[in-house]
Structure 1
């Protein structure tokens, strides 16, 4: 089964070439596009101030990050976790740019851009001309946003995992054929709902119910009336 890593970063600003640094990394392991529960999450001392405008976005101040490990100290653990698998992020070029700047600063090889899967590109292709931020996509797919008061990287990863599932085909991607031991070779269907995903319940109108009942009455020996 295909392994991939969905990840997000929080930073001190918008441009690593102007001295902005990574302060948080979160990554979730996906198998067959579904979260396994394995994750990597760390706060990082950026070795610089955290501007107020950045703190308003992610909620972290300089004081919150004092005493946390520096990027060079967590880099190997992050690289070991992501391995050589595909890397999924929303507006992935932003995250790749920051991580590659940090890796270069630490004297480590940069991430190969060929591994990048950008859910923002996927959303723009599917919903051209529409808002395609993470919040907008969660609302579009009825994914619960009640816990998202700031841009926390780990929570954003969990929300994006649910969005990614919808962008790649919806809930049917959670259906798998498995033959359990002792089942006599009979395949069973399983579905694992990602965190934050709420099914959309459809309630038929009275007119639709009446039309369905009239249709069923025209059938020969319908199962619904057995």
Structure 2
């Protein structure tokens, strides 16, 4: 199974106000293992970031001025996510911006290109109701170090989210591994009735052990004033 853990940074909080994506970070998982085949791209949004957003990500208009437009990276981005299950924390936020970018280019919806979207915020709320379930809170809860995270960055956040996602679903993974790793040889022994049985080794009791056992039974007979059950059979 191919999964892509995705995060974005944006110029503001609402694409309907003309805010745009300025960074995309993706981390690839194949059969729940990190592959190192990640995707990262800064994007020139053609506008300034709102002050609140700039304080979160620190990506200035000057820094982004020589980066490609979304239209220039759309083909490679779609090729990367094509057919994958995409994992996002608070998916409606990122999907709103991705769909807005796709719509500008007449590319349809983001969902048209992937096999599904998993929202880790929804999962976290089900696992930890009534608790804080931000990415930072989940890192603390699952013992994932985020001390190097001074500002939000799409690739860094995607890497942290990949660790959180694997930790949250570890129990399911362990069950699958138990099934997959059943030794084939043990199945063959059960199914092959013609296989020769191993030699059975019998270790008879010594005379001293037999005498000790008899004395024990005699004591039971005397205590119960009748032969014990072993001697009645």
Which structure dedicates a bigger proportion of its chain to helix?
Answer: 2
List per-residue Cα deviations over 1:103-128 (Å, max 9, x = no partner): 11112121128711000000000000
Secondary structure of 1:14's partner?
A: coil
Secondary structure of 1:13's partner?
A: coil
With over 3 angstroms needed to count, the CA separation of the structure-2 counterparts of 1:35 and 1:174, relative to structure 1, is farther
List per-residue Cα deviations over 1:64-91 (Å, max 9, x = no partner): 1001000010011110000111111000
Which structure dedicates a bigger proportion of its chain to strand?
Answer: 1
Secondary structure of 1:56's partner?
A: helix
Secondary structure of 1:53's partner?
A: helix
Question: Which residue pairs with 1:54 in the alignment?
Answer: 53
Secondary structure of 1:38's partner?
A: coil
Question: Which residue pairs with 1:97 in the alignment?
Answer: 96
Unaligned runs of at least 5 residues, structure 2 = 186-233
Q: Please state how far the C-alpha of 1:33 moved relative to its aligned partner.
A: 2.1
Q: Please state how far the C-alpha of 1:175 moved relative to its aligned partner.
A: 5.9
Whole-angstrom distance in 2 between the partners of 1:57 and 1:161: 21
Question: Which residue pairs with 2:165 in the alignment?
Answer: 164
Give me the TM-score of the superposition, normalised by structure 1. 0.75
Q: Provide the alpha-carbon RMSD of the alignment.
A: 2.3
CA radius of gyration, larger in: 2
Q: Please state how far the C-alpha of 1:178 moved relative to its aligned partner.
A: 7.2
User: What are the equivalent positions in structure 2 for 1:59-78 lying under 5 Å apart?
Assistant: 59-78=58-77
User: What are the equivalent positions in structure 2 for 1:80-95 lying under 5 Å apart?
Assistant: 80-95=79-94
Whole-angstrom distance in 2 between the partners of 1:165 and 1:15: 30
List per-residue Cα deviations over 1:153-178 (Å, max 9, x = no partner): 11101100110001112584896867
Question: Which residue pairs with 1:127 in the alignment?
Answer: 128
User: What are the equivalent positions in structure 2 for 1:174-213 lying under 5 Å apart?
Assistant: none
Whole-angstrom distance in 2 between the partners of 1:137 and 1:96: 21
Secondary structure of 1:94's partner?
A: helix
Instruction: Give the number of equivalent residue pairs.
Output: 182
Secondary structure of 2:38's partner?
A: strand
Secondary structure of 2:37's partner?
A: strand
Whole-angstrom distance in 1 between the partners of 2:92 and 2:50: 22
Q: Displaced runs of 4+ in structure 1, greater than 3 A?
A: 170-179
Give me the TM-score of the superposition, normalised by structure 2. 0.72
Whole-angstrom distance in 2 between the partners of 1:105 and 1:139: 38
Secondary structure of 2:35's partner?
A: strand
Question: Which residue pairs with 2:3 in the alignment?
Answer: 4
Whole-angstrom distance in 1 between the partners of 2:181 and 2:128: 34
Whole-angstrom distance in 2 between the partners of 1:158 and 1:28: 6
Whole-angstrom distance in 2 between the partners of 1:160 and 1:9: 12
